[in-house]
Amino acid sequence: MPIFRLIVLLFLVVLDSGCTVSPIKPAKQAVPTESAVTPLPPHEKLDEAKERNNSQAPAEVILPNVLKSTARQQISPVIQKMLTRINGSLNKENYADATSLLERALRIDPKNPLLWHKLARVKLTEGNYAQAKQMATRSNQYVQSDTQLREKNQRIIDQAIMLSSGG
């Protein structure tokens, strides 16, 4: 029986010591030394420093002028990247890839008139005149005040009608 009491007592001591909380010491913050900061050379002008910093910045995606007057000026970075890939596919005349990318982009932003316009152009190029007309009409539904894009959509609609009638 004394061994049993000794084991229980030992168990309680271990259990009790495991439940105590020791205070946590705050971590020391690293203070940068003067050698970590590299000052600009005295001969370097401020404009040169700005130019050097600007040359290291990532390239900005330049969107076509058709978006400048629309109320939907905020295009997500995902759509901007997709537009870059879409334009690359269109430049290479890879219409299947462009269509796939456009359809994916439209699942993300279904009310983007530029995406619908580009899809209408692809469909017109492929000879799918009914779909081209439908996509251009959809683009016009989402165009706010961009008369330039609305006019481009109308040209696609007119061409689709003319080409589908054999004229």
Quote the tokens at residue 149.
């894009």
Per-residue pLDDT, 65: 40
Q: Please report the pLDDT score of residue 59 as a whole number.
A: 36
Domains delineated in the chain: 76-164 (1.25.40.10)
* Unique residue bearing structure tokens 């439940």: 19
The Cα 117–Cα 108 span in angstroms is 16
Q: In a 3-state reduction of DSSP, which class is residue 104?
A: helix
How far CA 132 is from CA of 24, 40, 90, 91, 129, in Å, comes to 68, 57, 16, 19, 5
pTM of the predicted model as reported, rounded to 2 decimal places = 0.57
User: What is residue 4's predicted lDDT score, i.e. its pLDDT?
Assistant: 72
Find the radius of gyration of the CA atoms of the chain.
32
Rounded to 5, what percent of the chain is helix, strand, coil?
A: 65, 0, 35
**pLDDT for res 18:** 57
Contact (Cβ atoms closer than 8 angstroms) between residue 137 and residue 149:
no
The pLDDT tens digits along the chain (167 residues) read 667 776 766 666 665 655 555 555 555 544 444 444 444 444 444 444 444 444 443 333 334 444 443 444 578 999 999 999 999 999 999 999 999 999 999 999 999 999 999 999 999 999 999 999 999 999 999 998 899 999 999 999 999 999 998 76
